[in-house]
Amino acid sequence: MVELEHYLRPLFDYWYYSLIAGIFLLFAAKFVEKLSVAIFGFIIGINILFPAIVERVPQIKEWLSNPTYYQISMVVFGVITAAVLYAIYKSITFIFGFLVVGALGYYIANFIIGYFGITLSFEPLYLYAGVAIVLGIFGGIVTYKKSAEVIGILSILVGAGTISAVIIGFILKGDFSKIDEPLFSSIAIVIFLILVVLGFVINFKKKKE
């Protein structure tokens, strides 16, 4: 799981950022929607986008060979990403709903046509795309109107994943090459699921009272 290790390592290397952000996202996401989006953007910026850009642009990688420059640039990039997501977070909820529900509609249509052996007089891709777009728009509108709940759920998942990465990083002593071993991957999944359940209980219990 080289690709997974590539994304987990920054979370552990800068665990002090990750842990603070992860705890907030996990336990306070439902109550501070916009701030959660900003922190979500910060995590994506420093742990996914920034490392990917550095890895793919040799000039930047060479310039940031100094650890101090790397960390400063990483934090600045994370803040910029946070600001961008904060500014367009409503649009993000629509896009998220559109993509998720649209993709689901595409694969459901694909499955039904294939399973029942339905023959069409036109290219099936047009039908799949049409179903995906219609359902995607519907999903986008619903998630847009329910942005607080959507952001809350996303934040819980990201927060749980972030904290899990930090915990498993300490267990593995930073050697994420072992993450594909059944024991450690099982531990990581169990930690993640426990945190997700805990996050849902804490964030949504007041709604039931």
Q: What is the pLDDT of residues 102-145, one digit of tens each?
A: 888 888 888 788 777 777 788 878 888 898 999 999 988 988 88
Quote the pTM value: 0.64
Who contacts 81 (Cβ-Cβ below 8 Å, separation ≥6)?
A: 41, 42, 44, 45, 46, 49
Q: What is the pLDDT of residues 41-60, one digit of tens each?
A: 888 888 778 887 888 888 88
Who contacts 35 (Cβ-Cβ below 8 Å, separation ≥6)?
A: 24
Q: What is the pLDDT of residues 158-181, one digit of tens each?
A: 888 889 888 888 888 877 777 777
Please state whether 174 falls in left (phi above 0), alpha (psi between -120 and 50) or beta. Answer: left
Angle between helices 33-44 and 67-87 (to 10 degrees): 140
Q: Which two tokens stand for residue 23?
A: 């705890």
Query: ∠36-41-47 over CA atoms, to 5°?
Result: 125
Instruction: Report the Cα–Cα distance between both ends of the chain, in Å, rounded.
Output: 43
| Domain that residue 127 falls in | 2-208
Q: What is the pLDDT of residues 71-90, one digit of tens each?
A: 889 889 989 988 888 888 77
The domain tally of the chain equals 1
CA-CA distance, 109 to 133, in Å (whole number)? 12
Q: How far out from the chain centre does Cα 120 lie?
A: 37
Q: What is the pLDDT of residues 141-157, one digit of tens each?
A: 988 887 777 777 878 88
